[in-house]
Amino acid sequence: MTQSVKEKLVTTLQIPIDRVEELLGICLIVTHAKNELIEAKNGVFDRLGYIINGAARIYYLNEKGEEVSYLLQVNEDVIGDYASYITGEKSQAKIETLLETEVLYFEKKGVEELIKKDVFWLGFAKRISDLAFLSAKQRLDELFFFTPEQRYLNLLKKSPEILNKIPQKYISSYLGITPQSLSRIRKRIF
């Protein structure tokens, strides 16, 4: 693992660099192909991931069987179904990579073992919980308080280099609009 990735972990997860090596001891790095479905063991997400490089979407199937993108996660975002992770219940979420995506995974069991050895890791677990909460809150805030154009601009600001590589149908689903509306928004902006 490169030093720059370790430094990003320090910033994102707010842990000292010397603790990153401990964390990496329980982690697994997986490179997923583009459009790969990331499966949960027996339907339960007992691990979370940190996107080193790439993009993924978390989506659900509505009652009509249509895919509705809930989150678009890119470089330095945490992915997984956090509700399934903490409850051990089966997930309804589907996670699909949108590009070739390199993910650093940590399993719940490994984190719990670190916590047993050193109370420091309780802070790490709290930080992961905080990131999941903030991601969900940001999503709700955007849906309730921002226009589709504002949501698109926020997404563009977050990761412009990756956004151009993601199919419009996933972006429009995430924004809650049609692909045609997304095209009109893009024309107005550019």
Angstrom distance (rounded) from CA 30 to CA 47: 13
Domains of the chain are 3-145 (2.60.120.10)
Supply the pLDDT for residue 4.
84
Give dist(CA 78, CA 160) in Å, integer. 18
Task: With a cut of 80, say whether residue 1 has pLDDT above it.
Answer: no
**Could you report the per-residue pLDDT of 63-112, keeping only the tens digit for each?**
999 898 888 998 888 999 999 999 999 999 999 999 999 999 999 999 99
Q: Percent of the chain having pLDDT more than 90? A: 63
Model confidence band, residue 190 (pLDDT cutoffs 50, 70, 90): confident
Does this model's pTM top 0.85? My answer is: yes
Spatial distance between the Cα atoms of 9 and 175, rounded to a whole number of angstroms: 28
Q: What distance in Å separates the CA atoms of residue 80 and residue 78, rounded to the nearest whole number?
A: 7
Separation of alpha carbons 154 and 50, rounded Å: 21
The pLDDT tens digits for 133-147 are 998 898 899 999 999
8 A C-beta contact, residue 84 and residue 95:
no
- Burial (CB < 10 A; 0-12, 13-18, 19+), residue 145, is exposed
Distance CA 125, CA 154 (A): 27
Give me the amino acid identity at 63.
E
